[in-house]
Amino acid sequence: MRPTRLLCVITCSLIASGATAQDADRIFSNGNIYTVNTDAPWAEAVAIRDGKFVAVGTNENAMALAGSGSDVVDLGGRFVLPGLVDAHTHGITALYSRQNWLVLDNSSPEALLQSVKDYADANPDKEWITGETWPPGMFPNDAPEASLLDDIVPNRPVYLVDQSGHSAWMNTKALELMGFNDPDLELDPRAVIVRDENGNPTGTVREFAMGYARQFLPERTLEEWTNASRAMMADYHSNGFTATRLAGGDLDRLEALRTLEAAGDLGMYISVAMDYDRFDEFGTKEEQLAALRQSPDYGSELIGPMGLKMFLDGTQLGRQAWNFDAYPGFPDNFGDQFYEDDELNRLVDELTGEGFFVMAHATGDRAVNQILNAIEAAQTNHPDATVRHHPTHNIQISVDDIPRFAELGVAAELSPQLQVTEELNNTIVGLLGEAIARSRLWQARRLIDGGNELALASDWTVSPLSPWLGIEQVVTRRFAPVTAITMEEAIRAYSYGGAHAIQKEDQIGSIEVGKSADMIVLSQDLFQLEQEGRLEEISETRVLTTVFRGDTVYQE
């Protein structure tokens, strides 16, 4: 349903009439602008001064601020949205991998293996062959064997990360170099090594075994992080994003962002969740907490707020999401619990008192319940604290926990792009059963009906960055129509909802006077697609222009 078209006239006229002494820097007129401001959802023009909206409403409102130095842009009736906010991405890591690792051809097992061979042949001087990502469902039990890689790269270690980011596939050379063949190897109890009937590693490791493996991989340099940070801007801007939260960071990555900002190349707002006890990173908790406490030194108007990213469980794909009910056919398997309640509660309480948010990976309903309990306890102990915590993924949520996000003032973040492929949906049915897979996962409809602020996020590069793919998925939900939401709700979740998740909704997420002048011009009207029943065309949407703080940072 298309929101009522009501232009802001009176309020914006007053603002405009009081500001004529100072001309607008830019004016965008004759647009079809959906503001995501519930009080005035539609406008035809905006005026911008000093990186903020100073008029939102009619052409007359905006043009009242025009002067000889104003840049006036005729939108020609184009559909416009606020700059989008992706509350969960791995942008720097994504571009680092793209620039320094092999991007696998995952169209088929044969194509994937051929891409590894071609890359190894083309890079004879590389000590390691590293790459990503292989998709779920491509190999039996999502556990490809080392022998497949041994046949094509026998003499150099190979390390390939899967699409979820929670599993890695290695050849025998890598297994031996890392010591996974050693029966006396001591690992974090949360580490998973897939073994054969004789106890020998077959080639796939998961979760915290990847953190142990990280120390053997090529070191990542500050220069590489900086190059990756600069390159990632093009991906964000071409997809319409003007703000994100990076789910993972360290002081080197913060330094890379600060370098970009100093050069005037950081064209978006970035909140950073620092690495903590990550399954795929090597380092102690104490070292990572020390880095977190240094992170505000790198903060600025564009960089922040800061917090940490931690994992409370695994994923459904490995039967490691922590649930109240056992997995079908596995009566003793409830998934993996990574933290006892007492340890998690102490950490969340401590960081709440210090003003740092906790971004907690929770995919199973018991893990979601655990982080909500920890947040509730911390808020009780610190009633004056203003920090907003961030449960992320929330793939399965118990019925009793649905309303608690709103009660605790936190956004419910979902990643609809994770649900796109038929192969993945079929895999999940096999793991969880038909009833749960079709009604109890990614419960966007129930969350909104429960009064919660929904935030949609990509988890890029675990899934594609495109918000249009995510919106198409969440408004159609062909696999589970009962969980679908409206276009209006989806757009809000990718703008204001994302801003709420990263605690910047007072600055960004909607087109309103006084907010950061962030907006995008699109190739088609999403509400028209909804009205005409052409939802399958949403993913074809293109961003024509991205404006950040009044400046055009992307033009198709």
Note whether 229 and 218 are within 8 A (CB): no
Strand-pair partners of 460 = 89
Sheet holding 357-362, edge to edge: 84-89, 241-247, 269-275, 303-311, 357-362, 390-393
Counting other chains too, the contacts that 66-70 makes at CB distance below 8 Å and 24 or more residues apart are: 66/23, 66/24, 66/27, 67/23, 67/24, 68/23, 69/23, 69/25, 70/23, 70/24, 70/25, 70/26, 70/27
Domain 312-485, architecture per CATH: Alpha-Beta Barrel (3.20)
| Cβ pair 139, 133 in contact under 8 A | no
What per-residue confidence (pLDDT) applies to 258?
97
Determine whether domain 91-214 maps to CATH 3.10.310.70: yes
SS3 state of residue 202:
strand
What does the alpha-carbon distance between residue 472 and residue 535 come to, in Å, rounded to a whole number? 6
555 Cβ partners below 8 Å, 6+ apart?
544, 545
Which regions of the chain carry the CATH code 3.20.20.140? Answer: 312-485
Reading the chain (556 residues) residue by residue, the pLDDT tens digits are 667 655 544 344 334 434 444 899 999 999 999 999 999 999 999 999 999 999 999 999 999 999 999 999 999 999 999 999 999 999 998 889 889 999 999 899 999 999 999 999 999 999 999 999 898 889 998 899 999 999 999 999 999 999 888 899 999 999 999 999 998 899 988 899 999 999 999 999 998 899 899 899 998 899 999 999 999 999 999 999 999 999 999 999 999 999 999 999 999 999 999 999 876 676 789 999 999 999 999 999 999 999 999 999 998 888 999 999 999 999 999 999 999 999 999 999 999 999 999 999 999 999 999 999 999 999 999 999 999 999 999 999 999 999 999 999 999 999 987 766 677 778 888 888 888 888 788 999 999 999 999 999 999 988 889 999 999 999 998 888 889 999 999 999 999 999 999 999 999 999 999 999 999 999 999 999 999 999 999 999 999 999 999 999 999 9
One-letter identity of residue 303: I
What's the confidence (pLDDT) of residue 423? 73
Burial class (CB in 10 A: 0-12, 13-18, 19+), 168: buried
Identify the pLDDT of residue 18: 40
Residue 434: per-residue pLDDT: 86
Locate CATH 3.10.310.70 in the chain: 91-214
According to the model, what pLDDT value does residue 425 have?
78
Contact 191, 207 (CB under 8 A): yes
φ and ψ at residue 27, rounded to 5 degrees: -135, 130
Q: What does the radius of gyration of the chain's CA atoms come to, in whole angstroms?
A: 24
Which stretches within 51-203 are classed as H helix? 59-63, 91-100, 109-122, 146-150, 172-178
* Listed residue (248, 256, 308) closest to 461, CA to CA: 248
Half-sphere exposure of 176 (CA within 13 A, CB side): 9
Instruction: Label residue 373 exposed, middle or buried (CB < 10 Å: 0-12, 13-18, 19+).
Output: middle
Phi, then psi, of 206 in degrees rounded to 5: -135, 160
How far apart are the C-alpha atoms of 551 and 546, rounded to whole Å? 8
Nearest to 456 by CA among 409, 408, 410, 415: 415
Is residue 195 classed as helix, strand or coil in its secondary structure? strand
Task: Find, among 434, 399, 535, the residue nearest to 477 by Cα.
Answer: 535
Angle at 387 (CA atoms; ends 382, 390), nearest 5 degrees: 115
Q: What is the pLDDT of residue 15?
A: 42
Yes or no: say if 188 and 211 are a contact pair by the CB < 8 Å rule.
Answer: yes
